[in-house]
Structure 1
Amino acid sequence: MRLCATLAVSALSLALVTGCSDGGSKDSPEGKGADAAKPAAKALSAAELKRLILAKGDVTGYKVEPVEGGTPAKSKVKAADAQCDPLLRVMTGIAPGTPAAETNRAVQEVKKAPTDKATSMDDLADGKFEDTFKDSMDIDTTMVILSSYDGDGARQALRSVSDAMKACAGGFTGDQAGDKAKFTRVAEERPADAGDESVAFMATSDMEDGDTAPVHVQVVRHGNNVASYMTINLGAMMTEKAYSVPAAVVKAQAAKLK
């Protein structure tokens, strides 16, 4: 896949993160009976969420940093079909539903330093530079959004994403704070085993050169809190290698919410 085509995919989402079943859901967004009977807890504050979100040293093999530049206002991220708003917004770093508070972090895989000799000019002539470049870009980068809700807000937030996955399976277009977005397919995926209920999907863009570029998302409810994960891997996009939201990242965040 050509680099220019890759960078065209969900441009704002990429910039935000990098600084530049059986049927897919673990449980139905309707929730389990015993859990549904529990009284709704009060939402956590932004300060409390910042203590609970992933931090440096929480995930082996990954670095955790603040999201550079912040996220756009919810009102500036809209799909042409309003039913698809929850998908476009979570891919832009905006928590689903109407949270009382939210915070986020960028979690990037740390690759081991290469042990072979530096690439020579002869290697460049042989086309090895391109392979080396693609390998250097083969890094999972995940935006983690932690949000908290009053009342039944967390359930409703997860349900909005689940409903949008079904309504927008054939693709959708939208505007991400001035950047046009076009996804041709939304496919349900199996989420990690975490939280009270969860959903996951892959949104795919078809590039002008015929290549495809997938973005992977998981949304997990932990009581009245929701952890959302949006992962991109430019190197995998270029080589068409399969990738997903890193299970280690989801597991580490879930452990902090128990």
Structure 2
Amino acid sequence: MKRSSRARLGATAAVCALSIALITGCGGGSDDSDASESSNKPSSSPAKTAETAKTLTSAELKKLIVTKADLEGYDVDSADTGGRFAESKDEVTVADARCEPIAYVLTGFAPGEESAFVSRMASPAAQVITSKPEAESTDPLEDALGATMTIVSLSSYEGDGAERTMRALGDAVAGCTGGFTASAKGQDTEKFTKVSTEKSAATSGESMAFAVTGATEGGGEPTVHAQVVRHGSTIATYYSINLAALGGGKQTKYSVPAAIVKAQAAKLA
């Protein structure tokens, strides 16, 4: 028998409590809810459609962000269930200001000063996570721990805001290789020990990818992955984490799923 999405999402919610900073959006709610292989060097595409070149509203972004119908084998849910590291960027403090764009990506916000923003969480559908018969299957929490969850967000910018955001993010990835610390409301502090560049999943538009290694109280060093792509005045951000890293299990090799990047790029083309 196949596990229900409700059981899987309940298990995921429990996992989220282990490290809010490393996975700020935990799935739940409806798909209609809003949240407020190429070289890694940023590469630009001269093609800009009228829709992606203009500054889009939240309502327009909502129509363009991926849904379950766009991603076979994935569930797509709200990326905001109230368990966020911070409620806004104003509550996030980064010791080294140049690392702020990276911290914003890891805490579920747009990397720059956006005019509109929406986000979703994409995760393998329940039947993909578990293929064993019910009698042989593991606990729902263990199933969820083996999944790679991806926060997908779209943010729109006025003028040259998208270009400036990509430059600032590129500077952050290059200048914050030794890691950084981020805190919420001056209290909860998370330490990230390493930032490294990665190869982007193939897509049109200016793109960059990077990995960030964190530090847990138990001495673990989980690594999360991100890719950021500019489509005209709209920036698509993908932030992936394998939950096994947070649960103390062996971390398997993974990256931002190319299928998600491809599906989102197609909707922005």
* TM-score bracket, shorter-length normalisation: 0.7 to 0.9
TM-score w.r.t. the length of structure 2 is 0.78
In the alignment, is residue 141 of structure 1 matched against residue 149 of structure 2? yes
Distance in structure 2 (CA, Å) of the matches to 1:67 and 1:74: 16
Partner residue in 2 for 1:24: 40
Write out aligned runs for 1:145-164 (5 A). 145-164=153-172
- Among 80, 93, 99, which residue is 2:114 paired with? 99
Structure 2 gap segments, 5+ residues each: 1-13, 29-36
Amino acid aligned to 2:193: T
Report if the CA contact (8 A) 1:26-1:190 is conserved: no
Distance in structure 1 (CA, Å) of the matches to 2:256 and 2:188: 24
In the alignment, is residue 239 of structure 1 matched against residue 244 of structure 2? no
Shift of 1:15: 4.0
Q: What are the superposed Cα offsets for residues 190-222 of structure 1, whole Å, 9 maximum, x if unpaired?
A: 111113111111100133443320111110001
Partner residue in 2 for 1:76: 91
SS of 1:14's equivalent in the other structure is: coil
TM-score w.r.t. the length of structure 1 is 0.81
Shift of 1:64: 0.9
Distance in structure 1 (CA, Å) of the matches to 2:214 and 2:114: 29
Distance in structure 2 (CA, Å) of the matches to 1:256 and 1:181: 34
Distance in structure 2 (CA, Å) of the matches to 1:199 and 1:250: 12
Write out aligned runs for 1:1-258 (5 A). 8-9=18-19, 11-18=20-27, 24-25=40-41, 27=43, 31=44, 41-69=53-81, 72-112=87-127, 113-116=130-133, 118-119=135-136, 134-177=142-185, 178-235=187-244, 238-258=249-269
Structure 1 gap segments, 5+ residues each: 121-128
Partner residue in 1 for 2:8: none
Q: Percent identity?
A: 39
Distance in structure 2 (CA, Å) of the matches to 1:226 and 1:53: 11
Distance in structure 2 (CA, Å) of the matches to 1:6 and 1:257: 30
Distance in structure 1 (CA, Å) of the matches to 2:263 and 2:115: 23
Query: RMSD between aligned alpha carbons?
Result: 2.9
Distance in structure 1 (CA, Å) of the matches to 2:71 and 2:183: 33
Shift of 1:7: 5.9
Count of residue correspondences: 238
Distance in structure 2 (CA, Å) of the matches to 1:118 and 1:235: 23
Distance in structure 2 (CA, Å) of the matches to 1:6 and 1:66: 14
Report if the CA contact (8 A) 1:86-1:160 is conserved: yes
